[in-house]
Amino acid sequence: MERIVKANDREYNEKFQYADNRIHTSKYNILTFLPINLFEQFQRVANAYFLCLLILQLIPEISSLTWFTTIVPLVLVITMTAVKDATDDYFRHKSDNQVNNRQSEVLIDSKLQNEKWMNVKVGDIIKLENNQFVAADLLLLSSSEPHGLCYVETAELDGETNLKVRHALSVTSELGADINRLARFDGIVVCEAPNNKLDKFMGILSWKDSKHSLNNEKIILRGCILRNTSWCFGMVIFAGPDTKLMQNSGKTKFKRTSIDRLMNTLVLWIFGFLICLGIILAIGNSIWESQIGDQFRTFLFWNEGEKSSVFSGFLTFWSYIIILNTVVPISLYVSMEVIRLGHSYFINWDRKMYYSRKATPAEARTTTLNEELGQIEYIFSDKTGTLTQNIMTFKRCSINGRIYGEVPDDLDQKTEITQEKEPVDFLVKSQVDREFQFFDYNLMESIKMGDPKVHEFLRVLALCHTVMSEENSAGELIYQVQSPDEGALVTAARNFGFIFKSRTPETITIEELGTLVTYQLLAFLDFNNTRKRMSVIVRNPEGQIKLYSKGADTILFEKLHPSNEVLLSLTSDHLSEFAGEGLRTLAIAHRDLDDKYFKEWHKMLEDANAATEERDERIAGLYEEIERDLMLLGATAVEDKLQEGVIETVTSLSLANIKIWVLTGDKQETAINIGYACNMLTDDMNDVFVIAGNNAVEVREELRKAKENLSGQNRNVSNGHVVCEKKQQLELDSIVEETVTGDYALIINGHSLAHALESDVKSDLLELACMCKTVVCCRVTPLQKAQVVELVKKYRNAVTLAIGDGANDVSMIKSAHIGVGISGQEGLQAVLASDYSFAQFRYLQRLLLVHGRWSYFRMCKFLCYFFYKNFAFTLVHFWFGFFCGFSAQIALDTSYWTFINHVFIWGSIAIYFSILFTMHSNGIFGIFPKQFPFVGNARHSLTQKCIWLVILLTTVASVLPVVVFRFLKVNLYPTLSDQIRRWQKAQKKARPPSSRRPRTRRSSSRRSGYAFAHQEGYGELITSGKNMRAKNPPPTSGLEKTHYNSTSWIENLCKKTTDTVSSFGQDKTVKL
């Protein structure tokens, strides 16, 4: 199906009955609450059992107990649960109303009017302002930026905080902010039906007798935030539940614990046991009536033949079903809810899970899942904001074979940087970023002494990037960065005196130690996933042509001149050291170019740009040609800061045999870096399998090869078609029996995951993933996160937990057995959809290993005792039946028994406290002054040494036997936990001291993290000048403008756009 939307015409669009912009994340409303909630509650077998029991008690012929004894506790339990569910849903309604009532400027009747989000309709034109949330999925029409560009942050969609560029069609960008022209805009959009694909959009805009192709670069999705753009106008294409954000949000599900499911099974078995007891007693009653009962008819005034022994046995059967119902009393469920409520308060009151910096305590948002926390087998975690703080910091660097960033002590030994160390005092204090700190004074000394290698290194950082600069109202320099790690490098150069000031399509202006210098930008060799590097070619004021390059060391080292062999060896060791600390590394190099050689190369580049066939291949070849014989300058190390305690938490959870899978929307290498930083991935692993197939056949083949490598033997693998789920289940269950020697990791991207989740491949994916120690899924959509969780839930029959902090994690949180939300920097959507929430990932360790373990342990102990108590009480009536002629009489009067219970429990407590307070009151002292000479003797007695000696001896005498017993039991009859703990201690003692050894280098090393964190296409965007506001040209150094300019890049961009429009049916997109 396709969607047809006409701008500024609500009547036309209403005939298609498109959804409005109101969202619903709640489960109930006033009309549906009672039936749906009752239906959910009576899915619990015990509730249905007591309902049937209540119906039986209403029949006087078979009931010896009043219906009041069952209906009151049943109604109480159902009411308490209903109130709790209603309260939870009330907060969902409150959250929905808060979002639905947000204000947005909508163009109605040629005027901008403030409208609530829920009143926005498909086809409306909306005005957005800077830092404002996007209300619906919009077609970008115009913006305040040149050429209709705008910048958006998509953190709530894919977890990435780096800015994305969206650009309007040239025909609509001319509309600008002219309200009259926008009100007359009547374009018709024909596009795809609502779907959950965040990275794809296909459509055509028809306007003024012409058609224009639309792709994902023209669309701004709901959940994005407009950044660094004063205003923009957009036309609503999808609204409310049809938006891609809501299409990726899972439905709220009714969650039950494994103990609840076990209780359902137990209740069925116990009910069967109860039926057996009833049949035995009914048969006994029939026999007793036929043989002995006739002798009592005279006393009971029964008419002859009025009641047969068989009918009497039938009635007795139902009577005993009622009497023996206490084998599963409804008080069990009341007691369970009270215990769970207490456990929830323990979590809320836990000071060790309180985050003081934001005054955020842990919160149990549900009271029904506490014991499930102690049974978690799989954890699915987001990366950005969950494991990391998403803050990039320049930590260390290697320049000309020397490491900077270490703080030596008096003995010239490396020391750990602490808060007590004084940071470096930077040269240009007015231009520094005050949040940046560096502690090694040696680098500043090298800069002041004029070390040419250090200056050239910092010059590369200031010139080779895609950062845009602007000044705020206070005159401070602000950088607009495309990736956070690139911003960290430019900020570092800025603080060390090489300040990037501004750029135009032909020039880059930087301030070098207080001197303003303008470089002519001759060519920009942009990044892509194949090159893994970025280069710029500039002419300095002296007329020299320089090529500056930075990128992954695995690629850049191959381009070095042979004379760099000694420096290469030193830098490689430094890179290994940086990578071992979990830092994201990047190699830096440069080359001097001959003027004549560059002219010839630039002419060939222009010819390649104008080519119609194999254009990309020819350009790539020319890039390879000029990026050779480079001279190595050094390397950088940037820290993607982990949250505090992440490494320790991951280690502890791994020791508890809990598997952690990372599901992130971030790029592959970025996720791999975090995996290394968290110690989920290590260089000591036997193998890391990377699945990157482009179709189902390639993905299946890669999975098959990975399984063969892991198992060490070839298997007869079928073509993947599974006959039935039963066969699949048997295949997956056999995994547990396999012994996997060594540690393995699986890394798969979102495109390959889409094929791997197909019905005929997912069994291979799950089998391989479960055999690996670590699984990292990159570039996944919110819906794919939920699908991975569902896959493990369905076929592994394991208890799962999902943890995240953004709106892109909501569907995963809803799908897992337990959902945990982190109240981070991406809003409260994850918290509102979660079952538990706290502020830091490290608190997950205490939630599972302390609260989860004890909740499960206590609940199991309670259930064992409760069933024992009730079976003992119930079987008394069964045995009493043999002595009362199977007449269904109760052995104990229930009202008497209840009264005795209350008297002994509450009475004993009352008497204890009454005597305690009476013996220490002023009143008793006034009556008997001689007998009680000391008022408050409990306080005064604690000052006597003999009292403390008695307390100590009593404690030792009481505790010592138990300690001796436990000690002997652990040593003579150790449990499985004791054996594992003993084995771990022995391993620690036997472990040899860690020695420094060279790490194995893989092509997927975490060193190349920077290159993968960058997005392709920004080079052409910069050289075309489309993302630059019109302003006065920057001061130049008198350099004459040469005939090499960047017009070829603009032609290339236009040519790509033309090709895209002509090949719209083939689903191609324009890349900027």
> For the chain, what percentages of helix, strand and coil (3-state, to nearest 5) are there?
50, 20, 35
Quote the CA–CA distance of 288 and 478 in Å, as a whole number: 96
Cβ atoms of 438 and 445 closer than 8 Å: no
Res. 128: pLDDT tops 50: yes
Q: Quote the pLDDT of residue 985.
A: 75
Q: For residue 23, give the nearest of 334, 293, 249, 350 by alpha carbon.
A: 249
Q: Quote the pLDDT of residue 832.
A: 75
Share of the chain above pLDDT 70, in %: 80
Res. 1038: pLDDT tops 50: no
Q: Quote the pLDDT of residue 999.
A: 40
Q: Quote the pLDDT of residue 925.
A: 67
Which distant-in-sequence residues (6+ apart) come within 8 Å of 48 by Cβ? Answer: 42
Quote the CA–CA distance of 114 and 869 in Å, as a whole number: 65
Helix axes 452-463, 484-495, angle to 10 degrees: 140
Res. 885: pLDDT tops 70: yes
How many Cα atoms within 13 Å fall on the side-chain side of residue 704?
15
Q: Quote the pLDDT of residue 252.
A: 63
Q: Quote the pLDDT of residue 818.
A: 93
Q: Quote the pLDDT of residue 741.
A: 66
Q: What's the pLDDT tens digit per position in 796-848?
A: 888 999 998 877 788 889 889 999 998 865 556 788 788 899 999 999 999 99
Q: What average pLDDT score do residues 172-184 get?
A: 91
Share of the chain above pLDDT 90, in %: 27
Res. 245: pLDDT tops 80: yes
Q: What average pLDDT score do residues 368-387 get?
A: 87
Q: Quote the pLDDT of residue 1017.
A: 65
Q: Quote the pLDDT of residue 205.
A: 93
Q: Quote the pLDDT of residue 160.
A: 65
C-alpha distances in Å from residue 1032, one per residue of 13, 100, 751, 1041: 46, 44, 45, 17
Residue-averaged pLDDT of the chain: 80
Q: Quote the pLDDT of residue 163.
A: 76
Residue in the block written with tokens 């599974």: 722
What letter does residue 324 receive in the DSSP assignment? Answer: G
Other beta carbons within 10 angstroms of residue 689's beta carbon come to 20
**Among the ranges 43-52, 928-937, 1022-1031, 1041-1050, which has the highest mean pLDDT value?**
43-52
Residue 382: active-site member: yes
Least confident segment among 233-247, 426-440, 957-971: 426-440
* Long-range CB contact pairs, 623-628, < 8 A, 24+: 623/525, 623/531, 623/535, 625/601, 626/525, 626/537, 626/547, 626/593, 626/601, 627/525, 627/533, 627/535, 627/547, 627/549, 627/559, 627/591, 628/559
What string of DSSP letters covers 145-173? SGGGEEEEE-HHHHS--SEEEEE--HHHH
Res. 1041: pLDDT tops 90: no
Task: At 316, list the tokens.
Answer: 């007795």
Decide which of 975 and 586 is more confident: 586
Res. 298: pLDDT tops 90: no
Res. 1062: pLDDT tops 50: no
Q: What's the pLDDT tens digit per position in 314-351?
A: 888 888 887 887 777 667 777 888 888 889 999 999 99
Q: What average pLDDT score do residues 482-501 get?
A: 87
**Among the ranges 197-206, 232-241, 270-279, 684-693, which has the highest mean pLDDT value?**
232-241
Q: What's the pLDDT tens digit per position in 659-702?
A: 999 998 777 777 887 888 888 888 788 888 999 888 888 888 99
Q: Quote the pLDDT of residue 67.
A: 67
Q: What average pLDDT score do residues 1040-1045 get?
A: 38
Q: Quote the pLDDT of residue 438.
A: 81
Decide which of 934 and 949 is more confident: 949
Query: What are the b/e assignments for 87-114, b being 16+ CB within 10 Å?
Result: ebbeebbebbeebbeeebbbbbeeebee
Decide which of 999 and 423 is more confident: 423
Q: For residue 537, give the nearest of 523, 519, 520 by alpha carbon.
A: 523
Quote the CA–CA distance of 260 and 247 in Å, as a whole number: 31
Res. 463: pLDDT tops 90: yes
Res. 140: pLDDT tops 90: yes
Q: What's the pLDDT tens digit per position in 509-529?
A: 999 988 999 999 999 998 876
Q: Quote the pLDDT of residue 542.
A: 92
Decide which of 744 and 993 is more confident: 744
Decide which of 1017 and 626 is more confident: 626
Q: For residue 662, give the nearest of 648, 680, 645 by alpha carbon.
A: 680
Task: At 936, list the tokens.
Answer: 């408050």
Q: What is the pTM of this model?
A: 0.67
Res. 1010: pLDDT tops 60: no
Q: Which of 137, 158, 350, 382 is catalytic?
A: 382
What string of DSSP letters covers 629-673? SBEEEEEEEEEEEEPTTHHHHHHHHHHTT-EEEEE-SS-HHHHHH
Q: Quote the pLDDT of residue 1066.
A: 40
Q: What average pLDDT score do residues 986-1006 get?
A: 49
Q: Quote the pLDDT of residue 459.
A: 94
Q: Quote the pLDDT of residue 730.
A: 38
Cβ atoms of 173 and 147 closer than 8 Å: yes
Q: What average pLDDT score do residues 263-268 get?
A: 80
Res. 873: pLDDT tops 70: yes
